[in-house]
């Protein structure tokens, strides 16, 4: 099997490294391998590429260079923001988050709750939408931090983080957003918001895995998570992953230059896929908020059958790589906590498939998915014990 055979529609799990990104990285893996903290020019070159990447990321999200801290991944950025707020917001102990966060926030908050920190999980409706009135009722002068994702990895919903940051600040709380799925897909200008922390991850925007960044608003109190050397201006110890940071900088530049035009194309393909599958599969269910959704994400439930079985057959039929729920939960048999929070019924919960596109998908691939999927749904339903 070659990679040419694959129809990859799992870009919310991870993305292809853009050729330009790979080219930007290789010199720092081969020739220019210096340590950015070294005092000699060989080290300063590495320090310079990190400074350039910091600027490119700042340009993409409307932030200044000194507000960007490189991390090893999105998860580390999320953990750092929340742990920092609990450390610096003396006298405040409550955490407010949502029932649909990625595990990088969701599992951390569950662990913190077990350790005695009070946590409120905001609920969502059938379309996965939050209720700002519930947020207003829950956030108060005991809240240390509010953490709400910018966009959901499973259903693609985009959340009103700008308004939520206002509510948090009005109550003296800090606001963090996990924007791992939003950065590079939707325009972001942090200068127009009150957001204190924002997490992003390289491998969701065509840079490599194992690199991320945390935006920390200037003057927001901060406490380091990794303690050691003085890297990242003393905010994150550990020798920087220079090549991956160079790649992340290039990916940010590409995203900024092409986001609008690329996402218009990606959205047209996603909409075509949605129309095609809804028309060809009886009893379809499209999950999420149709009005506030990432342009690349389509999450559907095919009732009475198992998502895993659909995935395996899609791969066998046309080498389609999609996902049932998020990559992190699909290793377990538990249905997605996001779809459960939306109150989906049992028959639908188990038959969910997520298609997540990128600028590298083609119309021919979408046509192939529309052709391959309906017969699989029909056949699995024929075999289903529910008799549909
Ligand atoms: C919304 C969201 N947050 C956080 C993460 C974790 O990012 P990383 O894999 O870089 O740790 C992911 C990855 O799937 C994600 O989708």
User: Domain limits of the chain?
Assistant: 3-15+259-383, 19-254
Predicted local confidence at residue 57, as pLDDT: 98
- Regarding beta strands 143-147 and 174-178, do their DSSP bridges make them parallel or antiparallel, or are they unpaired? parallel
Give whole-number Cα distances, 21 to 93, 153, 294, in Å: 42, 23, 23
How far is ligand 1, taken at its centre, from the CA of residue 379, in Å?
34
Strands 7-8 and 320-321: parallel
**219 touches 210 (CB < 8 A):** no
Residue linked to tokens 């049992």: 346
Q: How far is the CA of 100 from the centre of ligand 1 (A)?
A: 13
Domain spanning 3-15+259-383 has what CATH number?
Answer: 3.90.1150.10
Distance of CA 186 to the CA centre of its chain: 12
> What is the per-residue pLDDT across 262-320, written as a single tens digit (0 to 9) for each?
899 999 999 999 999 999 999 999 999 999 999 999 999 999 999 999 999 999 999 99
Q: What pLDDT sits at residue 329? A: 47
In the chain, which stretches have pLDDT less than 70?
Answer: 1-4, 325-333, 387-388
**Predicted pLDDT at 173:** 98
Ligand 1 atom nearest the C-alpha of 210 is 10
For ligand 1, whether the C-beta of 158 sits within 6 Å is: no
Please identify, by atom number, the ligand 1 atom nearest to the C-alpha of residue 209: 10
* CB 73 near ligand 1, within 6 Å: yes
Please say if 73 is a catalytic residue. no
Q: Could you report the per-residue pLDDT of 31-47, keeping only the tens digit for each?
A: 999 999 999 999 999 99
CA-based nearest residue to 66, from 217, 239, 189? 217
Q: pLDDT at position 327, please?
A: 44
Decide whether 3-15+259-383 matches 19-254 in CATH topology: no
Ligand 1 centroid to Cα of residue 180, in Å, is 6
d(CA 168, CA 279): 43
What is the structure's pLDDT at 331? 54
Q: Is the CB of 303 under 6 A from ligand 1?
A: no
Please state which architecture CATH assigns to domain 19-254. Answer: 3-Layer(aba) Sandwich (3.40)
């Amino acid at each position: 099997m070659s990679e040419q055979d694959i129809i990859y529609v799992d870009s919310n799990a991870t993305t292809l490294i853009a050729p330009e990104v790979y080219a930007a990285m290789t010199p720092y893996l081969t020739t220019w391998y210096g340590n950015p903290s070294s005092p000699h020019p060989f080290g300063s070159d590495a320090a310079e590429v990190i400074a350039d990447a910091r600027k490119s990321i700042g340009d993409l999200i409307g932030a200044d260079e000194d507000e960007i801290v490189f991390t090893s991944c999105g998860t580390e950025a999320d953990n750092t923001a929340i742990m920092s707020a609990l450390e610096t917001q003396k006298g405040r102990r409550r955490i407010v988050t949502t029932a649909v966060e990625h595990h990088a926030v969701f599992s951390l908050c569950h662990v913190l709750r077990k350790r005695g920190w009070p946590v409120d999980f905001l609920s969502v409706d059938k379309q996965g939408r939050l209720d700002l009135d519930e947020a207003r009722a829950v956030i108060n002068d005991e809240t240390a931090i509010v953490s709400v994702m910018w966009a959901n990895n499973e259903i693609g919903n985009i959340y009103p983080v700008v308004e939520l940051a206002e509510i948090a600040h009005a109550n003296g709380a800090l606001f963090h957003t996990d924007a791992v799925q939003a950065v590079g897909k939707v325009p972001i200008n942090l200068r127009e918001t009150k957001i204190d922390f924002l997490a992003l991850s390289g491998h969701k925007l065509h840079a490599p895995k194992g690199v991320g960044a945390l935006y920390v608003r200037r003057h927001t109190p901060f406490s380091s998570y990794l303690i050691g050397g003085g890297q990242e201006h003393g905010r994150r110890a550990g020798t920087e992953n220079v090549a991956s940071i160079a790649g992340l900088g290039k990916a940010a530049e590409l995203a900024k230059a092409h986001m609008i035009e690329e996402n218009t194309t990606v959205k047209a393909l996603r909409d075509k896929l949605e129309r095609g599958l809804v028309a060809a599969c009886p009893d379809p269910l499209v999950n999420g908020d149709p009005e506030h959704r990432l342009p690349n994400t389509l999450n559907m439930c095919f009732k009475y059958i198992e998502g895993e079985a659909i995935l395996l057959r899609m791969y066998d039929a046309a080498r389609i790589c999609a996902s049932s729920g998020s990559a992190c939960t699909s290793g377990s048999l538990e249905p997605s906590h996001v779809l459960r929070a939306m109150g989906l019924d049992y028959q639908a919960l188990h038959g969910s498939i997520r298609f997540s596109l990128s600028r590298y998908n083609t119309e021919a691939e979408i046509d192939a998915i529309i052709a391959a999927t309906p017969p699989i749904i029909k056949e699995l339903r024929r075999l289903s014990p529910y008799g549909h």
